[in-house]
Amino acid sequence: MNSSTTSNDKNVPSDLQKQISIIYKREPEKRIFVNRTVRLEKIQFFGFDMDYTLAVYKSPTMEAETFKLVVKYLIQIGYPSEIADIEYDPMFSIRGLWFDIQYGNLLKVDGFGNILRASHGRRFLLWKEIEDFYPNKFIQLSERRIYVLNTLFNLPDAYLITRLVDFFDKYEKTPDKTGVRYGDVIMSYNAIFQDIRNAMDYVHGEISVGQLKHKILERIADFVEIDDRIGLMLSQLRALGRKTFLLTNSDYEYTKAVMTYLLGSEWRTFFDMIIVSACKPLWFAEGTVFREVDTETGALKIGVPTDPLKKTGAVYSGGSCDAFRRLVKVRGKNVLYIGDHIFGDVLRSKKTKGWRTFLVVPELSRELAVWTGKRELFERLQQFESQLADLYRHSDANTLDKPSDAVVGNVLKAIQEVTQARDQQYGVFGSLFRRRAWSQQMSKAPTGSMEEEEEESGTAGAGSCSTGNASTPTNASSSRPEEGGVDTDESNEDLLTNNGGGGSGVSISGITRPRAGTTDQLTNDVVVPKQAYVEGSNQQ
């Protein structure tokens, strides 16, 4: 039935008109949010990332194991053995936080660089303390100073950083507040952070005893979700004449083990082409050497393949998007790539190659659960904000009278109280998704008092989640960039719009920034909460 049929059509019976007026929507956790129209009949190639897309890792089991291995490595390189007692807390950190390498602070930042919340270790800073570190409560993104913790793999990093800052802050601070004096040495926050990053690189390295991949493959059922719908979906796509390919940064041996667990020993037959060790996002730029992989030995063959689609399930290593396009002879608009990574999977593929993109957002399930379960809080916020707007409705440049300070203060206080009640549903850093800077800056830090923060800010109150419309959660996104910092140029783009309506849209705190005139070109085509597979068209 065509959902565009209007209820005032005289040829449609009245009882049927009521049915037509109700738009079908799936349960929130199964929805596919469409930012731009995607005509699937025009898509010739369906590409998939592996980690956190086809292979969904179990949380918090995955993060807790990573955390434990990183702590073990740090002790091996000389860190105090007492840190072995630290246990991972999955409720503390969220993706999109910024770590200030200079001062050791963890920041929640909006899309314009305004600091919404800040913690030093697990202690949240009062607004006066924030202004001491960051005048005007603003910070500019800089690769030298800021590391954006914007991947699911970064969740253990974020929590370990806070715990080590707490641990070393027991000692004397350096005069410039950039570290502590630990015995006869100076431990800067920068050095602590670099040690954690090196430890993470080691833990995520090759498959060897004691490292994360070895642990995963030893007990793969404990770490990876299995879903029979994956094979069904891939088979249906191929039965309809579409091409499927796997594009992952994981090496062949690890990919083979995980995909065999998910799809069986014949896993390669589900794909027309498999590319491992892709080195995204470099793959979408100059790329690396393109070689075929010997599926028996895992070794690379010499030479460059001339017809990679000639045999189903052939495995290749490296290469680039340009080489891929020339070999398979497909236009970017006819490719839909499904991944969980804003920079590595979505932004680069869309901005530089024109691919259509399908973003998997695991956290969106929780956000939607809060939205549906605590909807009355969002509705009350909208009511209070409407009241605040009504107080200034007839004000203009000639208006001399202003609303009563007491009345305005009461409304702002009510907004703050409801906002705090809502934020408690998410965690200590609040919602993953961006909020309006004016309202969020009055969010109460867990260790501060309302009166102190109101005095520092000059006003009281906190507003609702800025999702294009105060009462409607729209499309949301997350990311998993490749190892390293953040692409400062790409990070200035706002990837998401309010269904292409030109509104403020939604972005992950601290990950994306809007730039006028570019949202339509860079918007994600499709966003889903988690491992959702298309069972029909026009999903709402």
Q: Which residues are catalytically annotated?
A: 49, 51
Torsion of CA 303, 307, 310, 311, to 10 degrees: 30
Count the helices and strands in the chain (H runs, E runs): 17, 17
Query: Phi-psi category of 371—alpha, beta or left, where left has phi over 0 and alpha has psi -120 to 50?
Result: alpha
Cα–Cα distance measured from residue 20 to residue 42, given in angstroms and rounded to the nearest whole number = 28
Nearest CA to 118 among 483, 509, 526? 509
- Tell me the torsion sign for CA atoms 372, 373, 374, 376: positive
Packing angle between helix 189-203 and helix 155-168, nearest 10 degrees?
140
Please write down the HEC assignment for all residues of 406-445.
HHHHHHHHHHHHHHHHHHCCCCCCCCCECCCHHHHCCCCC
Cα–Cα distance measured from residue 248 to residue 323, given in angstroms and rounded to the nearest whole number = 16
12 DSSP 8-state letter: S
Cα–Cα distance measured from residue 354 to residue 525, given in angstroms and rounded to the nearest whole number = 11
Token reading at 94: 């969220």
- Tell me the torsion sign for CA atoms 225, 228, 230, 231: positive
At 364, which helix (H) or strand (E)?
Answer: helix 364-373
Helix ranges (H only) for 169-270 are: 189-203, 212-218, 220-223, 229-239, 252-263
Q: Token pair 């974020």 is at which residue?
A: 158
392 DSSP 8-state letter: T
Give one DSSP letter per residue of 430-492, joined into a string. Answer: --SB---HHHHTTPPPTTS-HHHHHHHHSS-------SSBTTB--------PPSSS--TTGGG
Cα–Cα distance measured from residue 184 to residue 192, given in angstroms and rounded to the nearest whole number = 16
Confirm if 361 and 529 have CB atoms less than 8 A apart: yes
Confirm if 161 and 196 have CB atoms less than 8 A apart: yes
> How many other C-beta atoms can be found within 10 angstroms of the C-beta atom of residue 71?
24
Q: Return the exposure string of 181-219: e unless at least 16 CB atoms fall within 10 Å of the residue's CB, then b.
A: eeeeeebbbbebbebbbebbebbeeeeeeebbbebbbee
Nearest CA to 90 among 4, 177, 159? 159
Instruction: Sort strands 179-182 and 172-173 into parallel, antiparallel or unpaired.
Output: antiparallel
